[in-house]
Chain A
Amino acid sequence: QKEVEQNSGPLSVPEGAIASLNCTYSDRGSQSFFWYRQYSGKSPELIMSIYSNGDKEDGRFTAQLNKASQYVSLLIRDSQPSDSATYLCGASNDYKLSFGAGTTVTVRA
């Protein structure tokens, strides 16, 4: 079993819609959770971090964490073509950050 699992996609959404990405993790000791965005041919960049149960909003992005269910999600509201990328979910219980395989999102204009 992988430490971090993501719905593999690809996910195609129309411009202006909500994109919903899901992630589960197996290590109950994980304390910190992250979403990275990776454009094709580029390196990952951090877009969201979440440490407590509940929702965290940053602009058009909302991260949700449920530690009891070992579940993390990312919502992208008002999706734009520039949001087309692969989104990587990460979980860590210390310095070691484990990543899922990523979900590729395509926003159709």
Chain B
Amino acid sequence: GAGVSQSPSNKVTEKGKDVELRCDPISGHTALYWYRQSLGQGLEFLIYFQGNSAPDKSGLPSDRFSAERTGGSVSTLTIQRTQQEDSAVYLCASSLGHRYGELFFGEGSRLTVL
């Protein structure tokens, strides 16, 4: 299919380790978002990329979190020195740049920090 692809689907790590989560958006979608969903909670905005513009990183919860998007396509979310409170599902979404709010989500990466 041509949907948003995320990997890994599940990641279990030990506290203090670094993790990388990958997102491959729908071809032709210029906007890419990362959200975090904790158990029973809504979606928390993390970061937004649009084309070659500077990303909006205002939702990143701490400097342990970073993200990049290479070539306007694939994105990687990196969490350094993971903590137990980082445990959540990390959702990536993409959209056509002008269709604000009409997001197509990947299946998510479930992160468990022991």
Q: Which residues of A contact B (CB under 8 A)?
A: 4, 32-34, 42-46, 49, 88, 90, 92, 94-102
Contact size range, B: 20 to 34
Nearest 8 CB-CB pairings of A with B: A43-B105, A101-B42, A99-B43, A99-B42, A92-B101, A32-B101, A34-B101, A97-B101
Q: Which residues of B contact A (CB under 8 A)?
A: 31, 33, 35, 40-43, 45, 48, 50, 56, 91, 100-108
Q: Is the CB–CB distance between A44 and B56 below 8 Å?
A: no
Expressed in whole angstroms, the Cα–Cα distance for A88 and B93 within the complex equals 15
Expressed in whole angstroms, the Cα–Cα distance for A29 and B105 within the complex equals 25
Chain B residues near A45 (CB, 8 Å)? 105
Main secondary structure of the interface of A (DSSP, over half): strand
Chain A residues near B101 (CB, 8 Å)? 32-34, 49, 90, 92, 97
Given contacts A95-B48, A97-B100, A97-B103, contact A88 B31 (CB under 8 A): no
Chain A residues near B103 (CB, 8 Å)? 44, 46, 97
